[in-house]
Amino acid sequence: MSNIYLRQSTLDDLPRVIDIIEGAKKTLRDRGVDQWQQGYPDNEILKQDIQEDISYVLMLDGEVVGVAALQQGYDKNYQDMTSGAWSDNSEVTYSIIHRIAVEAGHQGQHLSASLIQQLLTMSYYLGYRDVRIDTHPENLVMQHVITSNGFVEQGTITMDEDHGIRKAYQILLK
């Protein structure tokens, strides 16, 4: 049985985190998805995530195989929806899963789902019951992973970094 767990990223992880994100950009490009194709996220953003203690890595048998940022409190991109609305039971503060990726050689092993599940646990531990995530409208694989983990599509938002439209999802933990 594999040993899978989540831990906070350190600056020592940065080269591996960059490799995983660059691999994810290539996978998206190969699938014809325009997400992450204009330089975002760049190395500085990934380093900043680590320095702000919001970057987490998924470990599989001692190896970093996935990465995500778990932003806490508020995200201006989530303030105004282009279409739809957040749940009537939404909270003032929430956590947001950003920049999630699994190393290309480990895709297809349900590790994205494991990463999301562990980030939900971390959100709960940190006191957040309202968790949000978004993805590109053409990223059908991630849409499936998101909804398979209990998130409900609430509408669309526009991202500041590229003015791109994203499908926005939410889950309320009990």
pLDDT in tens, the chain (174 residues): 789 999 999 999 999 999 999 999 999 999 999 899 888 899 999 999 999 999 999 999 999 999 999 999 989 999 889 999 999 999 999 999 999 999 999 988 999 999 999 999 999 999 999 999 999 999 999 999 999 999 999 999 998 876 789 999 999 999
> In the CATH scheme, what is the homologous superfamily, with its name and number, of domain 4-172?
Gcn5-related N-acetyltransferase (GNAT) (3.40.630.30)
In terms of Cβ atoms closer than 10 Å to its own Cβ (0-12, 13-18, 19+), residue 24 is buried
Q: Which phi and psi (to 5°) does residue 10 adopt?
A: -120, 165
Question: To which residue do tokens 């297809």 refer?
Answer: 108
Total length of the chain: 174
Task: Pull the structure tokens for residue 129.
Answer: 């019951």
Terminal alpha carbon distance of the chain: 30
Question: What is the pLDDT, as a whole number, of residue 86?
Answer: 97
